[in-house]
């Protein structure tokens, strides 16, 4: 269930929630973006035939600079452990992992999204708030489930399916690159979602369920991996500070002339 605080209730624009469910959902990314800034609490649950894993983190995003940062805690027993920090921009993500092997402490690794099969939608352990919202641009169906009041704010609950390829086309530019790659990678093309919107049309919580095969090309149930990504937005309009790591702190950048 979404949680709100008093700052979340501030009026940030003249936007209003559309009475048409599909329009409301497709418009949510733009309306949320007009807040300027947002904070996010994220949970990603990955389930396969052999394993279940849950990762939790926090994020912040600056819509004007299109820069965001996430911090994810990786539990013991995984391939790497510790804290994973990401700075993401359209088309690229910078990663710093306190438990990574082979990378000097304090250094970042720069990764082009085109190098990641899913465009970093979930492969790094979380879905960044901008991408989670942009995916809604590809909503194909939207049903109003009901209303609920949280912290004195009325929220409308919608559910339906979305198409990542159409979301990528509607988003465009570098921000659409990851969605386009994910559309080719995930095996379930009609992605189920749930979203809670306030009366301004802003996203308060979003749940998206992605499915991919751990064996390329396989549609067998035993090979499918289901990833449920949940993001809870807050702090609309509260300024955040995010910057790209300097070249001297990017591992390998010196050797490439950056």
Asked whether residue 159 carries a pLDDT value surpassing 90, the answer given is: yes
Report the pLDDT value the prediction gives residue 27, as an integer from 0 to 100: 97
Q: Domains (ranges, CATH) in the chain?
A: 16-237 (2.50.20.20)
Could you give the percent of the chain with pLDDT greater than 70?
Answer: 87
In this predicted model, what pLDDT tens digit does every residue of 47-105 receive, in sequence order? Answer: 988 888 899 999 999 999 999 999 998 877 655 667 889 999 888 889 898 767 788 88
Q: Are strands 37-47 and 153-163 parallel, antiparallel or unpaired?
A: unpaired
Report the pLDDT value the prediction gives residue 120, as an integer from 0 to 100: 66
Q: What is the distance between the alpha carbons of residues 237 and 71, in angstroms, rounded to a whole number?
A: 20
Asked whether residue 217 carries a pLDDT value surpassing 60, the answer given is: yes
Q: What is the distance between the alpha carbons of residues 159 and 145, in angstroms, rounded to a whole number?
A: 7
Q: Please state, as a whole number, how many other Cβ atoms lie within 10 Å of the Cβ of residue 10.
A: 11
- CB proximity list for 14: less than 8 A, separation 6 or greater: none
Q: What is the distance between the alpha carbons of residues 129 and 47, in angstroms, rounded to a whole number?
A: 22
Q: Sort 172 into a burial class: Cβ within 10 Å, 0-12 / 13-18 / 19+.
A: middle
Asked whether residue 148 carries a pLDDT value surpassing 70, the answer given is: yes
- Rg of the chain (C-alpha set): 18
Give the global pTM: 0.86
């Amino acid at each position: 269930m979404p949680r709100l605080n008093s700052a979340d209730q501030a009026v940030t624009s003249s936007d209003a929630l559309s009475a048409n469910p599909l329009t409301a959902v497709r418009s949510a990314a733009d309306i949320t973006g007009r807040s300027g800034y947002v904070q996010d609490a994220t949970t990603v649950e990955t389930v396969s035939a052999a394993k279940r894993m849950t990762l939790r983190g926090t994020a912040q995003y600056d819509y004007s600079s299109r820069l965001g940062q996430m911090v994810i805690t990786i539990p013991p027993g995984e391939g790497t452990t510790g804290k994973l920090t990401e700075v993401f921009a359209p088309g690229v993500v910078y990663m710093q992992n306190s438990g990574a092997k082979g990378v000097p402490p304090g250094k970042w690794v720069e990764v082009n999204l085109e190098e990641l099969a899913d465009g970093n939608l979930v492969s790094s352990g979380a879905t960044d708030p901008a991408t989670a919202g942009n995916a809604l641009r590809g909503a194909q169906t939207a049903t109003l489930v009901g209303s609920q009041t949280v912290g004195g704010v009325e929220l409308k609950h919608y559910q339906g399916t979305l198409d990542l390829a159409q979301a990528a086309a509607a988003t465009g530019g570098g921000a659409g690159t990851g969605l386009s790659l994910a559309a080719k990678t995930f095996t379930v093309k009609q992605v189920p979602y749930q979203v809670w919107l306030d009366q301004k049309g802003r996203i308060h919580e979003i749940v998206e369920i992605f499915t991919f095969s751990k064996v390329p090309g396989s549609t067998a149930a035993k090979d499918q991996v289901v990833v449920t990504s949940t993001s809870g937005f807050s702090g609309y309009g509260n300024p955040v500070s995010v910057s790209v790591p300097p070249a001297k702190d990017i591992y390998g950048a010196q050797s490439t002339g950056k």
